[in-house]
Structure 1
């Protein structure tokens, strides 16, 4: 789930610049900008041709690590969560099981990874040693991940918690809501109880061989017209309300979401006013909110720049 933002950013850096447009940030996009967006959205919608798995398989539209509630992060625990720093204080079962995904339109039985395999996906390594923290981890637990000494064995003053991992104290098999190509589904997940967080961390349990990658439509051959920007991901979906993060320049103003709603797809992007002065070409992710005429349901949300379905940002 973690940290591939740079890969998303690189194709967009060539889009940002300092040319002025005729848009007035006080009144929003010009008629020509809206027309350019509509033409681009029509081309994106026409190119969208997903395969059969989109309708009868499992195509997740968000990352494999999900918070099951408000974790009540501190700056230190959020850093550890985003980086994937964990230590286990319980034996984590290596047994594999099977379970079903419950979609709005049916059910699908798929193989799952074991809790131990899910933990290995969740745990992305160790933070650098800090004063009072051992430089070497403890001995591995048979059949499970590396288990390090408990918090009573280490100094855990506020100045040291910034470089400590999250402590896993339990694991159970459950299910969490996940946005998929077939709408919001209840997907089996291993729920890891974390001592420092107020809500369990879920790692989706579907075996990688049973996951169908998100398809991509051929992007329009023409470059994105100046004054239009693409979307990076979905920050949230709540019925007909979408929060989208646009990729804009640090000096852009008049940032306005644009949406084209169709029966089978929704295309999103944005309009901006470019700076006329010198501006460093640094990508900024700007959240914007749009309200559709009808709940999103199972419709994919496509980026007007690339034609690719947007996934929910890691949380």
Structure 2
């Protein structure tokens, strides 16, 4: 049965050092005394994924972004409503958005620069704006409790979010920090001032013909090992601290980050204890945090099940 994606539960934040016995290497996993079957199953799979990694020359010479082209420049001070609007891409413009294309811009990598053509502010805004929110006229701010059928008549109170767009009041050409295959780069971006947010929303301005997509994954032919789950995306990178999101079952327990770190690549996944009873077929997203032996830099983060390069989502 196909799993249905659901955002269930609270984030799980664990450092690899906290999961390993004293004296073990957090980036390589627990010592032999503390290793369980999940680690034993993860290690050879991760090694196979790492050894299959063969990036094209553009990985070191071109512009290969490893995160969403929409970037927050600072803390937006989200409310529940504005975060929903940001994630959904609901915008309305209250200012003229220039349609003329600017001159070429410069991407500044840690190891050099690259001159690239840029898109106009109007083109960037069309990419940013994903449509209007659904109509919510007459909807109460707080919905009435829902009575669930059953002998106990249990009550749940769903949380409503307002269907509001974000209001763009100004736009200018600037730069945004973007994680790339060559490390964190300063990339030309259109900065949109949004009335409801405390920080601008940036949309990368690099023209599509100058963007190299991430390489296609090379996954092992056999299914993933039991008790090992894959990663969905990167959530945050702070030097050597890496937060990524696992896709686990709704009833899985014992969620543990699993990492194999190499000089050129980092392979991640997770270990879980599967439920033995009846459970719903849902995919739950669980963030986990690990501390690597060295800052991530330009190394790719690969999913242990698919071999996919994990990119970082907006926000």
Instruction: Name the residue aligned to 1:281.
Output: 281
Residues 161 and 299 (structure 1), Cα distance of their counterparts in 2 relative to 1, 3 Å cut = closer
Provide the rounded CA distance (Å) in 1 between the counterparts of 2:183 and 2:278: 44
Instruction: Name the residue aligned to 1:70.
Output: 75
* SS in structure 1 of the partner of residue 209 of structure 2: helix
* SS in structure 1 of the partner of residue 236 of structure 2: strand
Matched, 1:182 2:188: no
* Displacement of 1:31: 3.2
Contact 1:49–1:217 at 8 Å: present in 2 too? Answer: no
Residues 161 and 265 (structure 1), Cα distance of their counterparts in 2 relative to 1, 3 Å cut = closer
Matched, 1:105 2:111: yes
Deviation sequence 1:9-41 (CA, Å, 0-9, x none): 779xxxxxxxxxxxxx99998533212211001
Give 1:79-228 correspondences, 5 Å limit: 79-97=84-102, 98-131=104-137, 162-228=162-228
* SS in structure 1 of the partner of residue 226 of structure 2: coil
Instruction: Name the stretch that deviates more: 44-53 or 70-79.
Output: 70-79
Contact 2:80–2:161 at 8 Å: present in 1 too? Answer: no
Provide the rounded CA distance (Å) in 1 between the counterparts of 2:176 and 2:294: 24
* SS in structure 2 of the partner of residue 35 of structure 1: helix
TM-score, with length taken from structure 1: 0.81
Contact 2:84–2:161 at 8 Å: present in 1 too? Answer: no
Contact 2:4–2:282 at 8 Å: present in 1 too? Answer: no
* Displacement of 1:217: 3.0
Provide the rounded CA distance (Å) in 1 between the counterparts of 2:4 and 2:265: 26
* Displacement of 1:244: 1.1
Provide the rounded CA distance (Å) in 2 between the counterparts of 1:65 and 1:26: 36
* Displacement of 1:115: 0.3
Instruction: Name the residue aligned to 1:261.
Output: 261
Contact 1:241–1:292 at 8 Å: present in 2 too? Answer: yes
* Displacement of 1:129: 3.6
* Displacement of 1:78: 1.4
Provide the rounded CA distance (Å) in 2 between the counterparts of 1:119 and 1:32: 49
Provide the rounded CA distance (Å) in 2 between the counterparts of 1:162 and 1:36: 45
Instruction: Name the residue aligned to 1:271.
Output: 271
Instruction: Name the residue aligned to 2:56.
Output: 51
Unaligned runs of 5+ residues in structure 2 are 6-18, 22-29, 139-159
Deviation sequence 1:82-135 (CA, Å, 0-9, x none): 111111111111111210100000000011100010011111111234449xxx
Give the aligned CA root-mean-square deviation in angstroms: 2.3
Provide the rounded CA distance (Å) in 2 between the counterparts of 1:302 and 1:131: 44
* SS in structure 2 of the partner of residue 271 of structure 1: strand
Provide the rounded CA distance (Å) in 2 between the counterparts of 1:234 and 1:187: 20
Contact 2:168–2:194 at 8 Å: present in 1 too? Answer: yes
TM-score, with length taken from structure 2: 0.81
Number of residue pairs the alignment of both structures matches: 268
Provide the rounded CA distance (Å) in 2 between the counterparts of 1:26 and 1:37: 15
Provide the rounded CA distance (Å) in 2 between the counterparts of 1:223 and 1:128: 40
Provide the rounded CA distance (Å) in 2 between the counterparts of 1:84 and 1:102: 28
